[in-house]
Amino acid sequence: MSIAKKVIDFNSFEQNIFRACCAAGCESIRAQLEEWDRELSASRDRSVYRHKGQRKTVLKTIMGEVEYERAVYEQKNEDGTKSFVYLLDQAIGKSGSGFMSGLLSAQIAEAACA
């Protein structure tokens, strides 16, 4: 069918392109986070951080939610107690649960104040 005979719904076309780009962006972020986690795992001090498996989490970004896995480590504290840490979370500055990217937080704040 030629373009002259078909009505173009440009809004739908644009929305589909936007969704595809966001999905590709989320996948790129997931892949990079998991690669950084593997690098941190390989270079960690094994006498301090004992690998205890992988855990899933979600990072909320301007492109959508990014679900990824990262390693959890057990460490012994000075008082003899044990604690669990995520080296990737420390490396990217993530604290707590329900992590939202700084860019998404800024957009929300800007929209709320507008």
Residue extents of the structural domains in the chain: 3-113
pLDDT at 112: 87
pLDDT per position as a tens digit, 36-78: 999 999 999 999 999 999 999 999 999 999 999 999 999 999 9
Calpha distance 96→88 (Å, rounded) = 13
Res. 2 pLDDT band, cuts 50 70 90: low
Q: How many CA atoms lie within 13 A of 51 on its CB side?
A: 14
Q: Can you tell me the distance from the alpha carbon of 84 to that of 71, in angstroms, rounded to the nearest whole number?
A: 10
The string of DSSP letters for 15-81 reads: HHHHHHHHHHHHHHHHHHHHHHHHHHHHHS-TTT-EEEEEEEEEEEETTEEEEEEEEEEEEE-TTS-
pTM assigned to the model: 0.82
